[in-house]
Amino acid sequence: MSRPIRVAVVGAGPAGIYASDLLMKSGHEVSIDLFERMPAPFGLIRYGVAPDHPRIKGIVQSLHRVLDKPQLRLLGNIEVGSTVTVDELRDFYDAIIFSTGATGDRALEVPGADLPEAYGAGEFVGFYDGNPDFERNWNLDAEQVAVIGVGNVALDIARILAKTGDELHVTEIPDNVYANLKANQAREVHIFGRRGPAQAKFTPLELKELDHSPTIEVVVNPEDIDYDEASIEARRTSKSQDLVCSTLEQYAIRDPQDAPHKLYIHFFESPVEILGEDGHVSGLKTERMQLDGNGGVTGTGEFTVWPAQAVYHAIGYRSDEVKDVPFDSQRAVIPNDGGHVLDSETGQPLPKLYTTGWIKRGPVGLIGNTKSDAKETTAMLLEDYEAGTLEAPAHPGEDAIIELLEERKVPYTTWTGWHNLDAAERAAGEAEGRERKKIVEWDDMVRHAHPEYEI
């Protein structure tokens, strides 16, 4: 008797939702359960994109259309690996796709990185995006702040630190975040890149929009604008890199302005040490670098100490391991061949297990790039299905997993629950003339999603 292909997708961020969408559009009859550890879906759109980026947050609208489809069922507030194990999922599904993303920070390995005011960007993002896994109260006493890394996350961090709390109040930030940002003492934010403008990872739009805040003056030292052969080639072959360079050049040559907060972007400064005084951050020591002709840099032996009372490093995210799933801890990804999960020891594909998104390829690329990843993974899964290599699960019925969750009294959240939570956040926002105000606490989210649960 024919039945739909049962697929568990683990992680309800853009990667998992795009993979689900592709499976539903494949022409195969599919039935998908989208597992999510948090009570709310959307992964990094809810908990990674900065609150003052409504254009990117707007991607949620297209994700809504995917989740509205009857073949897809959201099962939130469930941690795969503890609430249900991967082995248990094998009994309910033909295939499992891991799309758990990356929220941790890559470690900055310099002396002083363990001082209390030396933070990973991801921790601060977790705070301002109201992620209940992170700190609710952030110390923003520093008047001078250093941000290490010249990617878009560094821009997000620097922009949020350089804006005023009131500029950000129109966004969805929760009350505790507004209270902290309103008390922010930062007057100077310094971003440090260890290479040059042609090697910066910023995207042009994000770099340009720094200038849109009336309280921020972006400053670039003309001496930091330098190109070698490889840099010239990088500009010539990438329109986006060329635009980044010309925007930086414009910042470098314009007349000084009188905005109250200065945001400096420095190049050719590699972090050497985070300096401390009485156990607190007092500065950042960097070594001046020079281009080596190939897009790389070498040290000059000249050092500078930049006064700073807080240092954030935005040098890349890191994925967390999923229990009982192979993990390459060096690269912080699930080892895979085009999306098929590989056994860590034998290097052979593991039946039924697939992966997509940042946990598959590492934390690089814009949200849209995840689509091509999902295409590769889902095509492979369907090929394996057609070849008959996916062992049929013992319990392929859609009710079986629900019975297990109910037996374990798991207060799981659903798509209807998200609509309830969404309505509650919108109502809280409207009361203050804002579009939304985020609900932060884990149990509050579950209670708003499912008032019928006794929590």
Site for ligand NAP in 28-47 (CB under 6 A): none
Residue 210 or residue 449: which is nearer to ligand NAP going by CB?
210
Interface map 342-381 toward ligand NAP (x if CB under 6 A): ---------------------xxxx---------------
Q: What is the DSSP letter of 322?
A: P
Q: Which two tokens stand for residue 167?
A: 């500029």
Q: What is the CA radius of gyration of the chain?
A: 23
Closest to 452 measured CA to CA, from 404, 424, 408, 420: 420
Q: Which stretch binds ligand NAP (CB under 6 A): 23-31, 93-101, 146-154, 258-266?
A: 146-154
171 counts as binding ligand NAP under rule CB under 6 A:
no
Applying CB under 6 A, which of residues 96, 154, 359, 401 lies at the interface with ligand NAP?
154
112 counts as binding ligand NAP under rule CB under 6 A:
no
The C-alpha atoms of residue 455 and residue 451 are separated, in whole angstroms, by 9
149 counts as binding ligand NAP under rule CB under 6 A:
yes
Residue 59 or residue 252: which is nearer to ligand NAP going by CB?
59
Nearest approach, Cβ of residue 224 and ligand NAP (Å)? 14
197 counts as binding ligand NAP under rule CB under 6 A:
no
Q: Which two tokens stand for residue 198?
A: 């042609």
CA distances from 315 to 37, 100, 186, 202 (A): 25, 20, 21, 12
146 counts as binding ligand NAP under rule CB under 6 A:
no
Nearest approach, Cβ of residue 432 and ligand NAP (Å)? 25
Q: Which amino acid is at 5?
A: I
From first CA to last CA, the distance across the chain in angstroms is: 42
Residue 91 or residue 206: which is nearer to ligand NAP going by CB?
206
3-state helix, strand, coil in the chain (%, to 5): 35, 20, 40
151 counts as binding ligand NAP under rule CB under 6 A:
yes
Secondary structure (DSSP) of 161-184:
HHS-HHHHHTSS--HHHHHHHHT-
Residue 271 or residue 326: which is nearer to ligand NAP going by CB?
271
Residues 319 and 311: beta-carbon distance below 8 Å: no
232 counts as binding ligand NAP under rule CB under 6 A:
no
Q: Which two tokens stand for residue 7?
A: 């697929």
Applying CB under 6 A, which of residues 315, 322, 333, 334 lies at the interface with ligand NAP?
315
CA distances from 185 to 27, 208, 310, 376, 449 (A): 56, 24, 11, 47, 37
Where does 210-296 show beta strands of DSSP type E?
216-220, 261-266, 269-277, 280-291
Per-residue HEC secondary structure of 329-370 comes to CCCCECCEECCEEECCCCCCEEEEEEECCHHHHCCCCCHHHH
Q: How many residues are there in the chain?
A: 455
194 counts as binding ligand NAP under rule CB under 6 A:
yes
Residue 310 or residue 439: which is nearer to ligand NAP going by CB?
310
Residue 96 or residue 284: which is nearer to ligand NAP going by CB?
284
Q: Which stretch binds ligand NAP (CB under 6 A): 69-77, 189-197, 379-387, 419-427?
A: 189-197
Cβ-proximal residues to 78 (8 Å cutoff; 6+ apart), any chain: 35, 36, 37, 84, 405, 410, 412
Nearest approach, Cβ of residue 54 and ligand NAP (Å)? 12
- Sort residue 47 into left (φ over 0), alpha (ψ -120 to 50) or beta: alpha
193 counts as binding ligand NAP under rule CB under 6 A:
yes
147 counts as binding ligand NAP under rule CB under 6 A:
no
186 counts as binding ligand NAP under rule CB under 6 A:
no
271 counts as binding ligand NAP under rule CB under 6 A:
yes
Residue 93 or residue 358: which is nearer to ligand NAP going by CB?
358
Query: Which residue number has the CB closest to ligand NAP?
Result: 151
152 counts as binding ligand NAP under rule CB under 6 A:
yes
Nearest approach, Cβ of residue 409 and ligand NAP (Å)? 38
Task: Specify burial of residue 303 (Cβ count, 10 A radius: 0-12, 13-18, 19+).
Answer: middle
107 counts as binding ligand NAP under rule CB under 6 A:
no
Binding residues for ligand NAP, per CB under 6 A?
53, 56, 148-154, 156, 193-195, 199, 201, 203, 206, 271, 314-317, 363-366
